[in-house]
Chains A and B, each alone.
Chain A
Amino acid sequence: MPVEGLKCKECGTKYQESAAYFCEHCFGPLEVSYDHSGLDAAEAKRRIQAGSHGIWRYSDFLPTSGKPGGDPLEPGLTPLVRADRLADLLGTEAEVYIKNDAANPTHSFKDRVVAVAVAKAMELGFTTIACASTGNLANAVAARAAAEGLESYVLVPADLEEQKLIASDVYGTNLVGVRGNYDAVNRLCTELVDAQPWAFVNVNLRPYYAEGSKTLAFETVEQLGWELPDRVVAPIGSGSLFTKLGRGFQEWIDLGLVEGEQPHFHGAQADGCSPVATAFAEGRDVVKPQRPDTIAKSLAIGDPADGPYAIEHARATGGNISSVSDGEIREGIKLLAEGTGIFTETAGGVTIAVLRKLAQRGEFKAGEKVVAYITGEGLKTLDATRDSFSMHEIDPSLDAFDAEFAAQEVSA
């Protein structure tokens, strides 16, 4: 937690710790900078292993110490599952791992970023927290506000999945459905931040918020027995998770907590909202905004703030960024469920569909450790899977059962 302050990622201008998020000189994003001089890697590892069962065990590398041991909604240390059956179904000889981040308090990776942002917001004296969200973030902010006794406002596109609306409102938040897409919600929040004395976790608190995603990288290393994966496959909405995963690995490489190289980074987007994949494919650094039209609503960000950095990181690590169709997303959800027993939302379907595409292209070598990041829960996007299930409906009698399953019985 040895925070130096905030620093512009573009021009390097330094700022004191505050609720600032962009550089006054060049509009670049601000990032938390640390002074880790004098850090003993072995000592840091010991502190981690003796720490709480969640993200606060990594507080040496976060901008706040949070509430180790006393956080009723502590996210993190979600399962990293070796998925051999899925690997077989994919026809790859790589070691495939699923990082199941649906196993967080509100069932998505957003609990990580919100925990960090809200801890910092409270340190800075805010009593109302808010966000612009495609759903999962709204759930996480509303729940965290309830746990901490804070006021909250969560702004979402009004046409969001019903499950995500209910799973926000239940916590007693001010749920605001904006008639417009996520980018319109985001613009409104960027204006509101000037008008209200609130901590918008992903606007004025964004430098701190984004740091929470590094914990996914830290956990991956720890759960692999202090080793780096060879490749990661992760979804790209704003590009923040993708780039912060990279920063997490890099910090630990630089500080000597793990040895090796950055993994190859493979980004995943939906065809219906693929501004970053498109820019990558065309070899551009500038991301042209799109108007999203995809079932993967949690990734439906047409104007991704960290798009340029995601492209840079994919290129720098010899990775790539791909997109998949809505049909492939549904197949991805099914493939993960049948291959691992994990039911993911549409964003996870995007990730698994890209994982499959990469496997089919032969991009994974035998024995490579490939980690796919599942960021959310399938029960939150039932619209996408509603028509995809089949059920045997029978009368409550043995005869009816036998008649329905006679064929299978013979074959068994």
Chain B
Amino acid sequence: MSVTVKIPTQLRVATGGQSEVEVEGTNVGEALDAVFAAYGDLRERITQDGTLRRFVNVYVSGEDIRFQQGLETQIKEGDEVTILPAVAGG
């Protein structure tokens, strides 16, 4: 399954300036692992002990994965996976 992972501006130093990364995967965890395989620096910034850091939110085509199956959330061809900081609003 080919999906687009969108990278927030502040993390683009770790992706050589890329704002989007095309990867393969059947669920969110696999897609993120594929991103980390290409851009190793991102793993530590986004995850801690194999889970998402507490101030990182991930969305699949606009839906928060915490309302779905977390990193196990299935993705389908053409989905957009968005990584965003969770510290906004209120």
**B87–A186 CB distance below 8 A:** no
Q: Chain A nearest CB: distance from B63 CB in Å?
A: 10
Question: Which of A224-232, A303-311, A340-348 sits within the interface?
Answer: A303-311
Contact A202 B66 (CB under 8 A): no
B76 within 8 A of A: no
Q: Separation in Å of the A30 CB from the closest CB of chain B? A: 8
Beta-carbon contact of A288 and B66 below 8 Å:
yes
Q: In the complex, which residues 196-210 of chain A have their Cβ closer than 8 Å to any Cβ of chain B?
A: 200, 202-203, 206
Contact A27 B89 (CB under 8 A): no
**Cβ B90 vs Cβ A305 within 8 A:** yes
B67 near A305 with CB under 8 A, answer no
Chain A interface main SS type: loop
Identify B59's interface contact among A10, A187, A202, A238, CB under 8 A.
A187
Find the residue from A193, A239, A286 having the highest chain B CB count within 10 A: A193
Q: A27-B45, A27-B85 are in contact. Are A22 and B90 (CB under 8 A)?
A: no
Q: A305 to B84, Cβ gap below 8 A?
A: no
Question: Would you call B62 and A22 a contact (CB within 8 A)?
Answer: no
A22 contacts B55, CB within 8 Å?
yes
**Does the CB pair A182–B8 fall under 8 Å?**
no
Inter-subunit contact B88/A305 (CB<8 Å): yes
Q: Of A27, A191, A202, which one neighbours B86 at CB under 8 angstroms?
A: A27
Q: How far is the CA of A73 from the CA of B67 in the complex (A)?
A: 41
Please tell me if A404 contacts chain B, counting CB pairs below 8 Å.
Answer: no
| Among candidates B11, B54, B87, residue contacting A24 with C-beta atoms closer than 8 Å | B11
Report A271-313 CB contacts with B as 1/0, cut-off 8 Å. Answer: 0000000000000001011010000000001011110100000
The main secondary structure of chain B at its interface with chain A is mixed
Contact across chains for A27 and B90 when beta carbons are under 8 A apart: no
B56 on interface, CB distance cutoff 8 Å: yes
Is A317's CB within 8 Å of the partner chain B? no
From residue B86, how far is it (CB to closest CB) to chain A in Å? Answer: 6
* Residue among B13, B64, B87 facing the most chain A CB atoms (10 A cut-off): B87
Interface residues of A in 350-385 (CB under 8 A from B): none
Taking CB atoms, residues of chain B closer than 8 Å to A193 are 88
Cβ-Cβ contact count across A and B, 8 Å cutoff: 90
Is there an interface contact between A206 and B67, defined as CB atoms closer than 8 Å?
Answer: no
Q: Which chain B positions have C-beta within 8 A of A28?
A: 55, 87
Cβ–Cβ < 8 Å partners of A22 in chain B = 10, 55, 85, 87
A28 to B13 alpha-carbon distance, docked (Å): 18
**Complex Cα–Cα for A25 and B45 (A):** 5
| Chain B nearest CB, measured from A181 CB (Å) | 11
Given A29-B55, A303-B57: A187 and B62 within 8 A (CB)?
yes
Cβ-defined contact, B87 with A194, below 8 A: no
CA distance A193 to B88 in the complex (A): 11
* Interfacial chain B residues near A291, Cβ < 8 Å: 67
Once bound together, how far apart are the Cα atoms of A28 and B9, in whole Å?
15
CB atoms of B89 and A189 under 8 A apart? yes
The residues of B that contact A24 with a CB separation of less than 8 Å are 10-11, 13, 45
Q: Are B55 and A10 in contact (CB under 8 A)?
A: yes
Residues of A1-36 contacting chain B, CB below 8 A: 10, 20-22, 24-29
The answer to whether B57 and A308 have CB atoms under 8 Å apart is no
CA distance A24 to B56 in the complex (A): 11
Interfacial chain A residues near B73, Cβ < 8 Å: none
Q: Which of A29, A183, A190 has its CB near the most chain B CB atoms (within 10 A)? A: A190
Within the complex, what minimum Cβ distance (angstroms) separates A20 from chain B?
Answer: 8
B-chain residues with CB within 8 Å of residue A301 when the two chains form the complex: 89-90
Q: A26-B45, A289-B64 are in contact. Are A303 and B86 (CB under 8 A)?
A: yes
Q: Which residues of A sit under 8 angstroms from B60, Cβ to Cβ?
A: none
A132 within 8 A of B: yes
In the complex, A25→B41 CA distance in Å? 10
> Apart from A183-B89, A303-B86, A306-B87, what 6 extra A-B contacts exist at CB < 8 Å?
A22-B55, A27-B56, A182-B89, A238-B90, A305-B55, A305-B88
6 contacts between A and B (CB under 8 A): A22-B87, A187-B57, A187-B59, A241-B90, A289-B66, A306-B90
| 6 residue pairs, one from A and one from B, having the closest CB atoms | A238-B90, A186-B89, A22-B85, A29-B87, A27-B55, A203-B88
Interface residues of A (CB under 8 A from B): 10, 20-22, 24-29, 132, 182-184, 186-187, 189-191, 193-194, 200, 202-203, 206, 237-241, 286, 288-289, 291, 301, 303-306, 308
